[in-house]
Structure 1
Amino acid sequence: MNATERTPADLLGSALAADPGRPLVTFYDDATGERVELSVATFANWVAKTANLLQGDLAAGPGDRVALLLPAHWQTAVWLLACASVGAVADVGGNPAAADVVVSGPDTLDAARACSGERVALALRPLGGRFPQPPEGFVDYAVEVPGQGDRFAPFAPVDPEEPGLIVAGAEYTAAEVVDRARADAPGLDLTGPGSRLLSGLPYDTWEGLSAGLYAPLAAGGSVVLCRHLDRLGEESLAKRIETERVTATAR
């Protein structure tokens, strides 16, 4: 534990310094057969590019609310850490009409149009693919993010005592996210480097976010994040647990 790690972005920075090549997020979509593995370095690069998009092109800063209308997905994890890097409040499943920025998957575009601010659409296609036709009124994330810078520096310091996350009606400061993630880790059998948690929980509760991102990051471990896990039979699940060297599960 490092006393200087007071925000989720700090946790990612420490992971990058410690071992950039190790896996951090391995994502499966059992409806499409997609598998994506992101090392700490690759994940951090996506976060930096997304934070630059958020801060620069979308003009979001500390305290601005970003409604994330997204499922449990590796790109959602990227946006959560990008918000933490900028100091914006990640409002998971939040009201677009009350948000400064809305980030929507393909299934929630109609609801996202209630946002009067900036709107970003994610196709959530394999390999981060773009929409065949960009949704009207939205920036296509897959088109805009590749050209962003690989390094990120916030325009204003991020205050760990300010709100950083809203989920299921509860608000947490950035520091509380870190503290709660660290506290959750032992109960999820995350014991340090080498711990690998398979999570099939959705991202619409604290428990899902903690198991699916924050607790593995805080513990120095990694997550195998599975969407549509209910479509996988027990035999196939057992094989995945063995193949991915999973040490604990949350589902």
Structure 2
Amino acid sequence: MTAPFAADARTPAELLRAALGEDPARPLVTFYDDDTGERVELSVKTFDNWVAKTANLLQDELNAGPEDTAALLLPAHWQSAVWLLACWSVGVTAVPAGDPAEASLVVSGPDGLAAAQACSGERVALALRPLGGRFPQRPDGFLDYAAEVPGQGDRFAPYSPVVADTPALETVVDGLPLKLSAGQTVQLAREGAARLGLERGSRVLSTLSFDDWAGLEAGLLAPLVAGGSVVLCRNSAELTEEQWKSRIEAEKVTLRLS
């Protein structure tokens, strides 16, 4: 029987480090936007580099740390996955679809900028353009993530240790709001991976939103905890079954969740 992947990992950041140590070149996150035709594939190493840079931005430029909360007004996107792992690397509690007025800082895509104005703390805007491009004009009152992140360091070390008891996530599980520590997030993801039958090498295609646990589990955490990978598809409602079949075959998908 194959040993579980990263059985000793107690935080999401430890799961990513385990994946990096095992096979840094393998694909981890593949992203499609069927409105723009964009396809991006990030290896474990490339994804980890984005996480490190974003975590340094969070910690050093935005002065965020444990006890802070980040409202993430973002779709299921490769950059959203980066921000989640960056928050968990620093010790910031991620709140997908959270109330900006109650958060220490807000991270928003183009569709959430008006709502994000309610945050009295730092505000970061993501253009979500192909190749991680910048806004043509930076939104007033926001940092442009694509302009700020390239200059950040490629290695990250938290000022405060992130452990299993560190608060990590506020989400909705089966219709109920729930606050999870880093350890509880990993444990719930392990249970989800087992329920879905995931194992090393599993490749999950997800069209689900990151606004609740079901989407976070399918589109990031269950594949990560299993030693697998994910294919995120956005704006894909108009794809025909033949197009889906072609994509599933091309991406070697083992499980489709939508």
TM-score by length of 1: 0.97
Deviations 1:156-203 (A, max 9, x none): 1013213200113221111111011111113223122x2111111111
1 CA distance for matches of 2:239 and 2:206?
Answer: 13
1 CA distance for matches of 2:245 and 2:195?
Answer: 21
Residue 3 of structure 1, CA deviation = 4.8
2 CA distance for matches of 1:149 and 1:123?
Answer: 21
Residue 238 of structure 1, CA deviation = 0.3
Deviations 1:135-156 (A, max 9, x none): 0100000000000000000001
Residue 229 of structure 1, CA deviation = 2.4
Partner of 2:13: 9
Unaligned runs of 5+ in 1: none
Structure 1 vs Structure 2 CA RMSD: 0.9
Partner of 1:23: 27
Matched, 1:250 2:253: no
Partner of 1:178: 186
Deviations 1:3-45 (A, max 9, x none): 5311100000000000000000000111221110000000000
Q: Secondary structure at the match of 1:237?
A: helix
1 CA distance for matches of 2:189 and 2:206?
Answer: 15
User: What are the equivalent positions in structure 2 for 1:81-100 lying under 5 Å apart?
Assistant: 81-100=85-104
The AA in structure 1 aligned to 2:236 is L
Q: Secondary structure at the match of 1:90?
A: strand
TM-score by length of 2: 0.95
Partner of 1:235: 242
Matched, 1:138 2:145: no
- Once the two structures are overlaid, the 10-residue window that deviates more, 26-35 or 81-90, is 26-35
Partner of 2:199: 191
Q: Does structure 2 conserve the Cα–Cα contact (< 8 Å) formed by 1:200 and 1:250? A: yes
Q: Does structure 2 conserve the Cα–Cα contact (< 8 Å) formed by 1:122 and 1:141? A: yes
Q: Does structure 2 conserve the Cα–Cα contact (< 8 Å) formed by 1:189 and 1:248? A: no
1 CA distance for matches of 2:112 and 2:31?
Answer: 21
- Which residue of the other structure, out of 63, 68, 72, is the alignment partner of 2:67? 63
Q: Secondary structure at the match of 1:155?
A: coil
Partner of 1:74: 78
Residue 240 of structure 1, CA deviation = 0.2
The AA in structure 1 aligned to 2:163 is D
The AA in structure 2 aligned to 1:45 is N
Q: Does structure 2 conserve the Cα–Cα contact (< 8 Å) formed by 1:73 and 1:225? A: yes
Q: Secondary structure at the match of 2:70?
A: strand
Partner of 2:49: 45
Q: Tell me the percent identity.
A: 65
Partner of 1:110: 114
Q: Does structure 2 conserve the Cα–Cα contact (< 8 Å) formed by 1:31 and 1:231? A: no
1 CA distance for matches of 2:85 and 2:24?
Answer: 16
- Which residue of the other structure, out of 189, 212, 219, is the alignment partner of 1:212? 219
2 CA distance for matches of 1:186 and 1:159?
Answer: 23
Q: Does structure 2 conserve the Cα–Cα contact (< 8 Å) formed by 1:46 and 1:78? A: yes
Matched, 1:155 2:162: no
Q: Secondary structure at the match of 1:150?
A: coil
Q: Count residues in correspondence.
A: 250
Residue 58 of structure 1, CA deviation = 0.1
